[in-house]
Structure 1
Amino acid sequence: MRISELSRRSGVPTATIKFYLSEGLLPPGRATSATQAEYGEQHVRRLRLIRALIGVRKLSVSATRQLLAAVAEHQGDLHQTLGLVLGARPLTGDQAAVEEQPSADVQELVTTLGWQVSPRSPARRATAESLEALQALAPDITWQSLVPYAQLAEATAALDLDGLEQTDNPLERAERAILLTVLLEPVLLALRRLAQENESAKRYGG
């Protein structure tokens, strides 16, 4: 397909595609002349992945380039791929410079559950900040209060990883990792809201 068709199929403007090509995020197409090239389905998938990383994950162009290169480097290693997508594994290799002192409450939660998570995981920091905000309004809420929710999340994670194992292609795995970890999150929140409404109707509805 020509670049105009690639733009139509992917929903990415032609000018943006050319920018991604110049920045090395998108591999070049097969040259058909001095000014023309043909693109395939892999370019469509790659564009969707790039747009998810930049538009949803809010990565910079430079960080996106690093992530895609790192995913290619660790192809076949699903744990590394997922760690890169989740931000639990550094892109630069200088992990010591970015690790933070873990929250004592979150560490207790992680230890109690027997979870293996990186000290630099953004989710660890987000949990600590959210728990602190909750305790400011309701001091009776502790890390122990989160255990039942964490156990539900553990079951969801098993479903996520089952979905990642459906392909051996590193780019498809990265794409699916973003789909199941980032893009699915609003759906999970919406389902929780629907479930809360349903439970309220059963308990308190007329």
Structure 2
Amino acid sequence: MKISELSRRTGVPVASIKYFRREGLLPAGRATAATLAEYGEEHVQRLRLIKALTTLGGLSIAATRDVLAAVDQAESTEGTLGAISYALPVPVTAASAGDADRDAAAEAAAEADVVGLIETMDWRVPDTSPHVRGLTTALRELRRLDADYRPEGLVAYAELAHAIARLDLRRAAAFDDSPALAEQAVIVLALSGPVLELLRRLAQEDQVRRRAAADDPAPADGHA
């Protein structure tokens, strides 16, 4: 197909397709003339993935390039899922060395909390995981803010996260071919996060309203 047909099928403007190609995100088409090229289904799939990462996932071109490179190098379903998980931005970034030095006690306590949680959950996670670092940073900040933080309360949340992860991976692993798997993995690992957070907030809103109603019952005759 020509680039105009590729644009029509994917909903990506021709100018954007050319830009993605210049940035190394999209492979070149098969040259048919000096200024013409033919594109195939692999280009359709790759553009859908790029669109998911940049438009829906909000990733930068550089971050998208990293994710695509990781996907291209993966040799198995597990490898693809792991590569995307590690290539995507961590929700909480590591603090600077200066910040850690100013509150070494909170840093050490947070690290111990994360190690203890991983052991309790029997999770197979290496110490080098960026998600370990991100969680450590988040817990350290909770301690510094004195937000009534209790490490034992993490287990209940971790168990919920474990159940969600099993559903996520079951859904993504149903796609056997690499391009479709990569696109589904991005949706599951990156784009479902906002949906889950909104579901959590809706549930919180429901609970707040229920508690408010329980604290302020209607008059006996039913009138306000």
* TM-score normalised by the chain length of structure 1: 0.79
1:121-136 to 2 correspondences below 5 Å: 121-136=129-144
Partner of 2:12: 12
Distance 2:60 2:123 in 1: 27
C-alpha separation in 2, matches of 1:45 and 1:83 = 20
1:139–1:198: structure 2 CA closer, same or farther, 3 Å change rule? closer
Equivalent residue, structure 1, for 2:78: 79
Q: Which residue of 2 aligns with 1:157?
A: 165
| Alignment length (residue pairs) | 193
Provide structure 2 residue ranges, at least 5 long, that are not aligned to the other structure.
89-107, 218-224
**C-alpha contact 2:67 2:87 (8 A) present in aligned 1:** no
What amino acid does structure 2 have at the position aligned with 1:26?
L
| 2-structure distance, mates of 1:112, 1:26 | 43
The structure having more radius of gyration, on CA atoms, is 2
Structure 2 distance, partners of 1:66, 1:167, is 22
After TM superposition, the structure 1 stretch with the greater mean CA deviation from structure 2, 112-121 or 135-144, is 135-144
Answer yes or no: is 1:192 the counterpart of 2:200: yes
How many Å apart are 1:44 and its aligned residue?
2.5
2:165 alignment partner AA: A
3-state SS of paired residue (1:87): helix
The CA deviation at 1:158 is 0.5
> Does the CA contact (< 8 Å) of 1:108 and 1:143 recur in 2?
no
TM-score (normalizing by structure 2): 0.73
Deviations 1:56-97 (A, max 9, x none): 363553x6445434423323x2222122111179xxxxxxxx
**Identity, % of aligned pairs?**
47
Equivalent position amino acid for 1:68 in 2: L
Deviates more, 1:15-24 or 1:147-156: 15-24
Say what the alpha-carbon RMSD is for the aligned residues: 2.7
Cα distance in 2 for residues equivalent to 1:59 and 1:108: 34
Cα distance in 2 between the residues matched to 1:67 and 1:130: 24
